[in-house]
Amino acid sequence: MIFRLSAAVLAGRIASWLCRVRGFRGSSMPGLVARKADPDSLRKLAAQVRKGTIVVSGTNGKTTTANMITGVLGDAGYKVVSNREGANMIGGVTSSFVMSSGIDGKIDCDYAVIEIDEASMPGVLKEITPGVVVLTNFFRDQLDRYWELDKVIGVIRDSLREQKNVVMVLNADDPLVAQFGKTTGLPAFFYGLAGTEHSRKTSTQMREARFCPFCGADLNYDFYHYGQLGTYNCLKCSFERPKPRVEALDAGVNGEANECRLFFDRREVSLSIQVQGLYNLYNALAAFSACLQLGIDVKTILKSLNNYQPVTGRMEKFSYKEKNVYLSLVKNPIGFSEVLAALCAAKGSKDVLIAVNDNDADGKDISWLWDVDFEMLASDHRPIRKLICSGVRGEEMALRLKYAGVPVEKIVVNRDLKVAVKNALNGSAGGAYLFSTYTALWNVHKIVKQLADKEDADAQHLSSVS
Sequence-ordered strand ranges (E) for 265-400: 267-273, 314-320, 323-329, 350-355, 384-390
Q: Please tell me which residue in 365, 416, 453, 456 is annotated as part of the active site.
A: 365
Same domain, 184 and 256: yes
The dihedral through the CA atoms of 91, 95, 97, 98 has a sign that is positive
Same domain, 97 and 242: yes
- Burial code (b: 16+ CB inside 10 Å, e: under 16) for 15-41 equals bbeebeeeeeebbbbbbbbbbebbeeb
The dihedral through the CA atoms of 456, 355, 27, 162 has a sign that is positive
- Of 282, 306, 330, the residue that ends a domain is 306
> Please, what is the angle between helix 278-293 and helix 62-75, to 10°?
50
Same domain, 247 and 292: yes
Which has the closest alpha carbon to 278: 227, 349, 243, 221?
A: 227
**φ, ψ for residue 140, nearest 5 deg:** -60, 135
**φ, ψ for residue 175, nearest 5 deg:** -60, -25
Specify which residues 352 forms β-bridges with: 387, 433
Interacting residues of 266 by C-beta distance below 8 A, sequence separation 6+: none
Interacting residues of 270 by C-beta distance below 8 A, sequence separation 6+: 259, 260, 261, 262, 302
Cα distances from 454 to residues 29, 248, 353, 417, 449, in angstroms, run 31, 41, 21, 18, 8
pLDDT of residue 85: 67
The dihedral through the CA atoms of 105, 165, 238, 244 has a sign that is negative
pLDDT of residue 380: 61
Same domain, 235 and 352: no
Assign residue 320 the CATH number of its domain.
Answer: 3.90.190.20
Same domain, 257 and 378: no
Same domain, 295 and 333: no
Q: pTM to 2 decimals?
A: 0.91
The Cα 343–Cα 432 span in angstroms is 9
Total domains present in the chain? 2
The Cα 189–Cα 59 span in angstroms is 19
- Of 267, 290, 306, the residue that ends a domain is 306
Identify whether the C-beta of residue 357 lies closer than 8 Å to the C-beta of residue 393.
Answer: yes
Identify whether the C-beta of residue 99 lies closer than 8 Å to the C-beta of residue 112.
Answer: no
Tally Cβ neighbours within 10 Å of residue 215: 12
- Of 306, 337, 356, the residue that ends a domain is 306
Same domain, 298 and 325: no
What is the full per-residue pLDDT of the chain (466 aa) written as tens digits?
A: 578 999 999 999 999 888 888 877 668 899 999 999 999 999 999 999 999 999 999 999 999 999 999 999 999 999 999 998 668 899 999 999 999 999 999 999 999 999 999 989 999 999 999 999 999 999 987 555 556 788 889 999 999 999 989 999 999 999 999 999 999 999 999 999 998 777 888 776 666 788 999 999 999 999 999 999 999 999 899 999 999 999 999 988 776 789 999 999 999 999 999 998 899 999 999 999 999 999 999 999 999 999 999 888 888 999 998 899 999 999 999 999 999 998 988 889 999 999 999 998 888 889 999 999 999 998 766 689 999 999 999 999 999 999 999 999 999 999 999 999 999 999 999 999 999 999 999 999 999 999 987 665 555 544 454 4
Same domain, 296 and 318: no
Our answer to whether residue 265 is catalytic in this structure is: no
- Cα 349 to the chain's mean position, in Å? 26
Same domain, 147 and 268: yes
Strands 257-264 and 267-273: antiparallel
**φ, ψ for residue 134, nearest 5 deg:** -105, 125
Range of the domain at 170: 2-306
Assign residue 243 the CATH number of its domain.
Answer: 3.40.1190.10
**DSSP label at 434?**
E
Interacting residues of 399 by C-beta distance below 8 A, sequence separation 6+: none
**DSSP label at 420?**
H
3-state SS assignment for residue 158 = helix
The Cα 167–Cα 149 span in angstroms is 23
- Which run of H or E residues covers position 190? strand 188-193
Same domain, 263 and 318: no
Same domain, 115 and 244: yes
Same domain, 293 and 358: no
